[in-house]
Amino acid sequence: MDRAQNLSRLSEPFDLLVIGGGATGLGTAVEAASRGYRVALVEGRDFSQGTSSRSTKLVHGGVRYLSQGNLGLVREALRERGRLRRNAPHLVGDLEFIVPAYSWWNGPYYGMGLKLYDVLAGRYKLGKTQVLSRAQVLERIPTLEPEGLRGGVRYFDGQFDDARLAVTLALTAVDKGAAVVNHAPVVGLLKEQGKVVGARVRDAETGSEHDVRAKVVVNATGVFSDAVRRMDDPDAPGAIAPSQGVHLVLPADFLPGSHALMVPRTDDGRVLFVVPWHGRALVGTTDTPVEQVSDEPRPLEAEIQFLLEHAARYLSRDPAREDVLAVFTGLRPLVRPLKDGGNTRAISRDHTLLVSGAGLVTVVGGKWTTYRKMGEDAVNLGAKVGGLEARPSVTAEMPLHGAPATPAVSTTGTPSASLAAYGTEAAGVRALAEQDEALAIPLHPRLPYLCAEVAWAARHEMARTVEDVLDRRTRALVLDARAALEAAPRVAQLLARELGRDGAWEAAQVEAFRARTEVALLPPAPNTLARATS
């Protein structure tokens, strides 16, 4: 996946131009290219740099939607969960969840609901729901708070690496003939006779601009969808009700083993997860309405306290601020209800398609699990709007880039943060390490990555910055923000060698990543800040 080569292709005429390189945009590009349409995708920053790399890392049907009675959404998501598990086994695994019961009626109540979850999954079921005794629950999660525990329920869902899946989708789109370019923001839409016929794209690295022409343009920019819609129509009403979700990352000893904890109803009605992932424990998430969207959302102190307090309530060892290895915050592109008001927890995660009078197609809402279906629906509509020949979808049964014919990873738990995530290309990464001893050394003692992965990311995965490597090609920034910062100078040096950059570029990259790391580190408690400034 060569960026210069893909950038040079933007002068070609396309059937479909996708704006946005997150889950929805990448899924749309794969869908369209696999049908044989001529496709281009441009992303203003890096693939999945926003919301799509900051999920709870779950491929799931949405247990909480059962209580809302949205069985259709749950059934569709469970079907897509099964397809993704089959099509990308190097990135998606099964995960056993435990729902603890601290009241006598919790076990039977949750058990009945989760058995319905199994029924809705049908042939895509990952495992059998079972009511557990107190001893069975503590055997699976020994760090669970034992006081008052009566038993629990186990059920199964999927787990994945979101940013690695995004890169895999970009590679898959290129495999199918699409032109895909990151760090290329859209600065305006092209119109002829009142119709959108493309977009003007700026190469963020050189400042040069390119007019990309297509029969139909799909706006898949998530929380930034309204901004693109207003390039077409300045008076377009807002379609997005953004909601902020925060996750804390803890050492694995808070949740040893391979079982996840799910609390179906916290004090304010949210769902809380504590999930094992790449040798860490993720605690999330919050659901806080926000008025403004930003490139780097920051956690609110109330969200941090909510997660720490609820984790302490359900874990025998109370996590403190100093235990947090990293924090990450994403903005959900929830579809605005017809009437304002209420809170975002009541808004469905189902997706919506919009078409402007000028023919701009926008897809909003949804979640990672249903990315393929969102792409399918967007392409079906885009083909009609653009007058393209109707062609059937083939992605439901289509393996993604790197998927092994016979999965080499365990079918229980997410594939580890190792070369397993590369699937059939793992041998290529190993070969780099064998050919150059400088690439065979670990990137950092506290991180599970080799220097060879930096070179591979630059040569084959369109990594252009230190952040691209440490946040999304590897997951170093999520696993241990301080370790990632310590590794930044080495990554900058390796990238400079691959991309032909000089020492000034290296220094600027390290400084830019230092600023990014400040967002990934938990801020001091307010009273600590007050003492420091007094």
- Beta-ladder partners of 213: 198
Q: Are residues 171 and 209 in the same domain?
A: yes
Strand partners, 361: 218, 355
Cα–Cα distance for residue pair 60/210, rounded to 1 Å: 39
The predicted structure's pLDDT at residue 406: 67
In a domain, 109, yes or no: no
Measured CA to CA in angstroms, residue 71 lies from 55, 65, 114 at distances of 22, 7, 12
pLDDT of residue 23: 97
Closest CA to 188 of 231, 219, 222: 231
Residue that is written with structure tokens 């700026």 in the block: 202
Quick one: 370 and 494 in the same domain? no
Indicate whether 424 and 476 sit together in one domain.
yes
Assess if residue 58 is contained within a domain. Answer: no
The answer on 47 and 7 residing in a single domain is yes
Residues 463, 370, single domain; the answer is no
CB 159 within 8 Å of CB 92: yes
Within this chain, do residues 389 and 424 fall inside the same structural domain, yes or no? no
Our CA dihedral for 106, 412, 394, 56, rounded to 10 degrees, sits at 60
pLDDT tens-place values along the chain, 534 residues long: 999 999 999 999 999 999 999 999 999 999 999 999 999 999 999 999 999 999 999 998 877 777 666 777 888 889 999 999 999 999 999 999 999 998 866 666 677 778 887 888 788 888 889 999 999 999 999 999 999 999 999 999 999 999 999 999 999 999 999 999 999 999 999 999 999 999 999 999 999 999 999 999 999 999 999 999 999 999 999 999 999 999 999 999 999 989 999 998 777 677 899 999 999 999 998 989 998 899 999 999 999 999 999 999 999 999 999 999 999 999 999 888 644 444 433 334 578 899 999 999 999 998 999 999 999 999 999 999 999 999 999 999 999 999 998 654 444 455 555 799 999 999 999 999 999 999 999 999 999 999 999 999 999 999 999 999 999 999 999 999 999 999 999 999 999 999 999 999 999 999 999 999 999 999 888 865 455 554
Residue 333 within any structural domain of the chain: no
DSSP code string of 372-408: HHHHHHHHHHHHHHHTPPP----GGGPPPTT--SS--
According to DSSP, the β-strands at 151-160 and 209-219 are: unpaired
Please tell me the predicted confidence (pLDDT) of residue 349.
55
Helices (H), 417-480: 426-435, 452-460, 466-467, 476-479
Residues 232 and 353 in one domain: yes
Q: Residue 366: which CATH number?
A: 3.50.50.60
Beta strands, E only, 102-185: 130-133, 151-160, 179-181
Question: What whole-number distance in Å separates Cα of residue 24 and Cα of residue 17?
Answer: 13
Residues of the domain holding 350: 3-51+163-240+341-397
* 487 phi/psi in degrees, rounded to 5: -85, -10
Q: Residue 319: inside a domain, yes or no? A: no
**What is the pTM (predicted TM-score) of this model?**
0.94
Residues 393 and 425 in one domain: no
**Is residue 79 in some structural domain?**
no
Residue 398 has φ and ψ, to the nearest 5°, of: -95, 115
Q: Give the Cα separation of 59 and 51 in Å (integer).
A: 15
Q: CA angle, corner 349, sides to 280 and 400, nearest 5?
A: 60
Residues 345 and 231 in one domain: yes
Question: Does 265 fall in a domain?
Answer: no
Same domain (yes/no): 39, 169: yes
- Whether 276 maps to a domain, the answer reads no
Residues 6+ positions from 7 with CB-CB distance below 8 Å: 181, 184, 203, 210
Residues 392 and 513 in one domain: no
Helix (H) / strand (E) containing 301: helix 301-314
**Chain mean position to CA 1:** 20
Query: 444 lies in a domain?
Result: yes
pLDDT score, position 343: 41
Q: Are residues 215 and 350 in the same domain?
A: yes
CATH of the domain at 469: 1.10.8.870
On the question of a cis peptide bond just before residue 285, with omega within 30 degrees of 0, the verdict is yes
pLDDT of residue 260: 97
* Cα–Cα distance, 260 to 263 (Å, whole number): 10
**Number of domain units in the chain:** 2
289: left (phi over 0), alpha (psi -120 to 50) or beta: beta
Q: Is 72 helix (H, G, I), strand (E, B) or coil?
A: helix
